[in-house]
Amino acid sequence: MTSTGAKTAPHVPVLVSDVVAALQLHGGETVVDGTFGAGGYTRAMLVAGAGRVLGFDRDPDAIEAGRSLVPDPRLELIQDNFSQMDRVLAERGIGLVDAIALDIGVSSMQLDRAERGFSFQADGPLDMRMSRSGLTAAEFLNTAGEAEIARVLRDYGEEPRARAIARAIVAARPVERTAELAAIVRRAAGFRAGQKSDPATRTFQAIRIHLNAELDELEEGLQAAERALKPGGRLAVVTFHSLEDRIVKRFLRERSGAMPAGSRHRPVLTEPDAPTFERVAKPVSPSAAELAANPRSRSARLRSATRTSAPPRNRTSRERLQ
């Protein structure tokens, strides 16, 4: 077992020991950390004996900081979406890998920096772009129609008052700051001080997911992982809300052959594909001790499985797994 010599991480990775256990690293293996962030999982993989870690992140700030967070020659940082991992690995002459970890959603490093605009805990510009490119949250909210904003809040935030909040946002335009948006949402949702949950949380989540196409990225990333893993390779995915978890659960059920069979009313018309994953583990949630130490882990869920020797599924268009 080799020490990474890394500096202390600024943020605590969620379910890190469970993720490392699910990856079953034997020493000297090649691993993909598809969501490098602050390097918490990568650091644990290297300590567990990984021979090479390929750390993906679309956030240029994470890549830049990663060089000092995890100064280990076994780490190669790659600024790209994890949905492109199989293409990137092939371009670099890297064969199939032994394990892949994905930690879906926004990182604490992004949440805690007000200038990135992901959180309303401190006022900042409405940005929310993980890659630092493309449409900002302010540009979206100040140009989209009321119906489109409501759809985003409903589909990605599961917000029951989506239409009322969207109407309030349009009426208040231009909206430029995170504190402004949070106040608009609270008024529209009838928020009262002391309520258990802040309705602004759902709105911020929805806009972030929409701007960064996070659910599409997850679906495509799972397929890329299927193509990038060698037989016997392990996949571990940590999600933080039901939309993400539903996609991962359905993907692993489908790929392991656990989807419901046809009936006489809806017969199976073609032979089923051979399972590409097996040994799908039961989902893992944070322990009481982890919840006490890291309250942000409360909604986390880990799902993992092992790659079979079956060829990857041939998909010519984007799958919708919801």
The CATH code that applies to domain 16-109+214-307 is 3.40.50.150
Contact, 207 vs 140, CB < 8 A? Answer: yes
Dihedral angle, C-alpha 105, 111, 117, 123, nearest 10 °: 150
CB atoms within 10 A of CB 279: 11
The owner of tokens 């900042």 is: 124
Which region holds residue 117: left if phi is over 0, alpha if psi is between -120 and 50, else beta? left
User: What per-residue confidence (pLDDT) applies to 285?
Assistant: 97
pTM, two decimal places: 0.88
The half-sphere exposure of 52 on its side-chain side, counting CA atoms within 13 A, is: 10
Residue ranges of domains in the chain: 16-109+214-307, 132-211
Tens-digit pLDDT string for the chain (322 aa): 333 333 444 567 899 999 999 999 988 999 999 999 999 999 999 999 999 999 999 999 999 999 898 999 999 999 999 999 999 999 999 999 999 999 997 766 666 677 787 888 889 999 999 988 899 999 999 999 999 999 999 999 999 999 999 999 999 999 999 999 999 999 999 988 778 789 999 999 999 999 999 999 999 999 999 999 999 999 999 999 999 999 999 999 999 998 654 445 555 555 678 999 999 999 999 999 999 998 878 899 999 999 999 999 975 334 444 3
The CATH code that applies to domain 132-211 is 1.10.150.170
Contact, 55 vs 36, CB < 8 A? Answer: yes
User: What per-residue confidence (pLDDT) applies to 8?
Assistant: 40
User: What per-residue confidence (pLDDT) applies to 110?
Assistant: 63
16-109+214-307 and 132-211 agree in CATH topology: no
User: What's the burial of 87, exposed, middle or buried (CB within 10 Å: 0-12/13-18/19+)?
Assistant: middle
CB atoms within 10 A of CB 80: 15
The token pair that represents 98 in the structure block: 């032994």
State the distance between the two ends of the chain, measured CA to CA, in whole angstroms: 41
What is the three-class DSSP state of 136?
Answer: coil
The token pair that represents 157 in the structure block: 């935030």
CB atoms within 10 A of CB 192: 7
Dihedral angle, C-alpha 18, 82, 74, 108, nearest 10 °: -60
User: What per-residue confidence (pLDDT) applies to 9?
Assistant: 42
User: What per-residue confidence (pLDDT) applies to 3?
Assistant: 36
User: What per-residue confidence (pLDDT) applies to 196?
Assistant: 79
User: What per-residue confidence (pLDDT) applies to 320?
Assistant: 40
Q: Are strands 229-239 and 97-103 parallel, antiparallel or unpaired?
A: parallel
